[in-house]
Amino acid sequence: MGRKIEVTELVLRDAHQSLLATRMAMEDMVPVCEDLDNAGYWSLECWGGATYDACIRYLNEDPWERLRTFKKLMPKTPLQMLLRGQNLLGYRHYEDDVVARFCDKSAENGMDVFRIFDALNDLRNLQTAIAAVKRTGKHAQGTICYTVSPVHTIDAFVEMAQQLKDMGCDSICIKDMAALLKPQPAYDLVKGIKEKCGEDTLVHVHCHATTGVTLVSYMKAIEAGCDIVDTSVSSLSLGSGHNPTEALVEMLEGTGYETGLDLDRIKPVSDHFAKVRTRYRHFMGEFTGVDTEIFKSQIPGGMISNMESQLKAQGAGDRLHEVLEEVPRVRADCGFPPLVTPSSQIVGTQAVFNVIMGKYQTLTSEFADLMLGYYGSTLGEKNPDVLALAEARQKKPVITGRPADLLTPEWEQLRSEATALDGCNGSDEDVLTFAMFPQVSTKFFKTRSEGPKSLAKDPVSQAPAAAAPTGKAEPSREAVTYVVTLHGKEHQVKVAPAA
């Protein structure tokens, strides 16, 4: 037997987040849990990221209940989540005590592996979560967001990995959300980390498939010593999703590396999601192929469509080309942050403003805060002229410390606000839901007792709706009236499906 390459299966979280707008209901995942738990994965990613938000916003599902159900159905294989460091699963920084409580509760409800990252790669934004996870005895995975810029050298990334190891991380993840990691840098990066941090340092590589090259990057990463890679079953893979699990298994045949995964267990999972996928077709993006333009622009597809709609709203839909050229300049001015939520939105919106209103004539509040360090530090130096503009706009100083150090304890306040809400059950889990999504949770607590709502559609009712770009459900039973011309004579004809 060759060296074992471990695999994390993404189909329960990132795959449907990337391909089906995170809308998959728990009922569509339950049937495959037993097979997944017995297929031989290193871990099963199934929680965190946007799933928590989607649960309460769209599916009337309690995300904690989802986690407990996963744990019950998949007791053998470690469960894995994605955690945005000090942001938890929300969109602001939380005070340390809230972060620690979230990690405690997640572990208590069944989470085993915490993949912790920060959009700016400011590792100080990871330290509280890492320490909290370590205290629970669970696996803390320190994450580096991969990006390409003049300052993001292999050495710089390797240095981050060493810092994460020093912070107590059990493993290091290279997170390539935009599919920018090419084979040679994948090799160099993994090799570099292994040399610097020790051969026994677990290195886990997470790539999306968008640019079409990253299965090759997995091959080279594995040759360099990579221990674990992320894939998704083939029926819910590729496009802006991930490389197919089955292809990874087959690719390694005869190479001296093997996954040990049981393809007979994975086949029914893939068959299941092939059917499920069609029922969520209305949430699928247009894009299912390969997009290599990202290498040139460094701008993920989702960000481009975002900027396009902003431009159109300003009557400047024809100026996208200028904005695409402006984005790299704005990114350079604010110190080359990786372009991932929220930095991608902040940089993109500022680029739109620059094109429409003149260069830095108007700074968004978020961009100014980013310049001033309120999201954390960036690897690159900031443009001092733009920094001066940001200071003038925000009337607050540059900070160089850890942003969360500015926060004061907030748990008791959150608890009293949450428990006052109609339908809140008073648990710490509910308080955490409220803390991360105050508006949405207020509504969710009220409707929770009605139980989960699926947004999937059966294929029959979906077929006519598919013609509508919004995916709104046209009732399938409705008759349509056509004008039919037969032998030059017009007839009104009502067409309806047979009962």
Contact positions vs a second copy (CB under 8 A): 182-185, 211-213, 215-216, 219-220, 234-235, 237-238, 243-244, 246-247, 249-251, 253-255, 263, 267, 281-282, 284, 286, 288-293, 295, 463-464, 466-473, 475, 479-487, 491-499
Minimum Å gap between C-beta 297 and a second copy is 12
Q: 66-96 burial by CB neighbour count: b if 16+ within 10 A, else e?
A: bbebbbebbeebbbbbbbbbbbbbbeebbbb
What DSSP character marks residue 77? Answer: S
Minimum Å gap between C-beta 174 and a second copy is 16
Minimum Å gap between C-beta 371 and a second copy is 32
The enclosing H or E element of 384 equals: helix 384-394
The string of DSSP letters for 448-460 reads GGG--------HH
Minimum Å gap between C-beta 409 and a second copy is 49
Six token digits for residue 55: 């649960």
Minimum Å gap between C-beta 226 and a second copy is 14
Minimum Å gap between C-beta 224 and a second copy is 13
Nearer to a second copy, 183 or 342 (CB): 183
The rounded distance, in Å, linking the Cα atoms of 59 and 23 is 7
Minimum Å gap between C-beta 158 and a second copy is 16
Minimum Å gap between C-beta 36 and a second copy is 17
Nearer to a second copy, 90 or 185 (CB): 185
Nearer to a second copy, 397 or 475 (CB): 475
Nearer to a second copy, 115 or 152 (CB): 152
The rounded distance, in Å, linking the Cα atoms of 206 and 181 is 10
The rounded distance, in Å, linking the Cα atoms of 89 and 116 is 11
Amino acid sitting at position 493: V
Dump strand ranges (E) for 190-243: 202-207, 228-231
Nearer to a second copy, 140 or 190 (CB): 190
**CB–CB of 236/273 below 8 Å?**
yes
Residue 73 — φ and ψ, nearest 5°? -80, -20
The rounded distance, in Å, linking the Cα atoms of 126 and 117 is 6
Minimum Å gap between C-beta 471 and a second copy is 4
What DSSP character marks residue 212? Answer: S
Residue with tokens 């893979």: 237
Nearest alpha carbon to residue 363 among 381, 340, 387, 399: 387
Minimum Å gap between C-beta 236 and a second copy is 9
Nearer to a second copy, 20 or 107 (CB): 20
Nearer to a second copy, 255 or 447 (CB): 255
Nearer to a second copy, 143 or 211 (CB): 211
- SS3 state at 8: strand
Nearer to a second copy, 451 or 469 (CB): 469
The rounded distance, in Å, linking the Cα atoms of 359 and 302 is 24
Nearer to a second copy, 394 or 476 (CB): 476
The string of DSSP letters for 316-356 reads -GGGHHHHHHHHHHHHHHTT---S-TTHHHHHHHHHHHHHH
Minimum Å gap between C-beta 378 and a second copy is 24
CA distance readout (Å), 177 to 4, 174, 242:
25, 9, 10
Six token digits for residue 137: 């005895």
Nearer to a second copy, 10 or 202 (CB): 10
CA distance readout (Å), 319 to 222, 316, 326, 347:
43, 6, 11, 16
